[in-house]
Amino acid sequence: MDLESSRTKLDRYPARGKHDFATVAAILDEGFFCHVGFVQNGQPFVIPTGYGRKNTVLYIHGSAASRMLTEAAGGIALCVTVTLVDGLVLARAAFHSSVNYRSVLILGQAERVPAHEKLLALKTISDHIVPGRWETQRPVKPEELELTTVLKLEIVEASAKIRTGPPIDDEEDYALPIWAGTLDFSAPAATPNADKRLQPGVVTPAHALRYRRVKG
């Protein structure tokens, strides 16, 4: 599935660009936090939020009073970005220092998830962020559903951009006695810290003990 369009075609460093759905989906699946850009009355806004993906649909959610969700539900143009930082690239010259990263940009319009689909969409987001957590929580209350807006955005126009590898210096600089290389970040893991008001005897579940974002 090709997601390239005239708007997502990369002009700068096109060799780093990917437009196949598999690459885009792999980056989205490793991440869980996106930034949603939109324009309201001529003023640009960029709002961070969690998300979940199921097949070719990206779900975002938040308070029913959210300005971003209210505007987005009206069918305005959105730009959603996700970035994973894999390491720092330390070149011999500051000009050539960089970052190894994987990013996704999605363009499109979102629509409100109808009431009968909202619970399943929220489960998709929860399972995307922490697989297995949804089943361990108390059921969602009807009033909580009323206070929550969920939007879905079909992934049809998108691009991925990826930088990997060592620094690329000017040829004459390779002879300089300056350390250069990469500082590689490992896939982030998490250390569970129990709530101080946890009831006695409640053990840490496997989905918290084994939580880890895995590279796609």
**Residue-wise pLDDT tens digits, 73-83:** 899 999 999 99
H or E segment to which residue 34 belongs: strand 33-40
> Can you read off the two tokens belonging to residue 182?
């990469």
Q: Tell me the pLDDT band of 140, cut-offs 50, 70 and 90.
A: very high
Domain borders along the chain are 14-209
Residue 189's pLDDT is what?
Answer: 72
Distance CA 151, CA 124 (A): 12
Q: Are 128 and 96 in contact (CB under 8 A)?
A: no
User: Which CATH topology does 14-209 take?
Assistant: Pnp Oxidase; Chain A (2.30.110)
> For residues 115 and 145, is the Cβ–Cβ distance under 8 A?
yes
Regarding predicted confidence, which is higher, 189 or 95?
Answer: 95
For position 216, what pLDDT does the model report? 45
More confident residue, 115 or 216: 115
For the chain, the residue count is 216
Write down the pLDDT at residue 210.
84
CA dist list (Å): 202 to 132, 194, 195, 199, 208? 17, 10, 11, 6, 13
User: Considering only CA atoms, which of 187, 184, 193 is closest in space to residue 213?
Assistant: 187
55 vs 4: CA distance, rounded Å: 18
pLDDT at 177: 93
- Rounded mean pLDDT of 129-134? 93
Number of Cβ within a 10 Å radius of residue 152: 19
Determine the average pLDDT of the residues in 114-137. 95
Q: Give the separation between CA 145 and CA 127, rounded to whole angstroms.
A: 17
The CA distances from residue 203 to 46, 82, 195, in Å, are: 39, 33, 11
The DSSP code for 159 is E
Q: What pTM was estimated for this model as a whole? A: 0.89
Looking at residue 5, its pLDDT comes to: 87
Q: Is 78 helix (H, G, I), strand (E, B) or coil?
A: strand
Of residues 128, 132, 153, the one with CA closest to residue 214: 128
